[in-house]
């Protein structure tokens, strides 16, 4: 896969404007495209359909910054082209056998779990509950569950994912700081 690229709010706003000038319609198109991409990847036998759909969308967001004024036609077809390439990369990636965890990695995992527990306690109660609720379900049921969660909060699915992205980033920073303090 390509090098990880963090999406900025400005880049995401420009991307939505590229999908449609009306922000509500753009958000609806985004949700529709994401669900279609997930279905495409799952139908192609990918166990990580959501991850591949998100990777596809990230690549399109990055590229849309450059081509927003020059691209003609329905943007959904561009998504499908990028999805095809992401799928090919995924299929070509060799399946490596999983090595047995070393005692050091088990200790490291334990420290990470302890730090995550501490960082979860530091979160505001509403954010902590949101994280627990967001990750409650597994693959097939989680899409529907997250839609219901967004509706219950009175926000769009996109806003929910962005909120979770920010919370995860703060948790990651907290865990990394905790691990550095223990080292």
Kindly indicate whether the domain formed by 103-182 is annotated with CATH number 1.10.3470: no
Least confident of 2-16, 64-78, 118-132: 2-16
Residue 52 sits at φ, ψ, to 5 deg, of -70, -35
With a threshold of 0.85, does the pTM exceed it? no
Do the beta carbons of residue 168 and residue 130 sit within 8 Å? no
Q: Where are the domains of the chain?
A: 9-92, 103-182
pLDDT tens digit string along 122-149? 999 999 999 999 988 776 788 888 999 9
Beta strands in the chain (DSSP E): none
Do the beta carbons of residue 120 and residue 172 sit within 8 Å? no
Nearest of 119, 150, 156, 166 to residue 29 by alpha carbon: 156
């Amino acid at each position: 896969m390509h090098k990880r690229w963090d999406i900025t709010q400005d880049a995401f706003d420009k991307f939505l404007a590229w999908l449609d000038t009306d922000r509500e319609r753009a958000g609806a198109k985004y949700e529709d495209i994401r669900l279609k991409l997930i279905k495409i990847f799952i139908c192609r036998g990918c166990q990580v359909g959501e991850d591949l759909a998100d990777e596809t969308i990230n690549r399109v967001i990055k590229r849309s910054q450059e081509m927003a004024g020059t691209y003609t036609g329905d943007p959904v077809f561009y998504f499908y082209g990028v999805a095809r390439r992401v799928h090919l990369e995924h299929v070509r990636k060799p399946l490596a056998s999983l090595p047995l965890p070393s005692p050091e990695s088990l200790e490291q995992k334990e420290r990470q779990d302890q730090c995550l527990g501490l960082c979860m306690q530091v979160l505001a109660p509403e954010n902590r509950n949101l994280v627990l609720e967001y990750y409650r379900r597994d693959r097939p049921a989680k899409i529907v569950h997250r839609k219901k969660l967004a509706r219950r909060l009175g926000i769009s699915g996109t806003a929910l994912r962005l909120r979770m992205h920010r919370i995860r980033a703060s948790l990651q920073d907290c865990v990394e700081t905790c691990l550095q303090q223990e080292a």
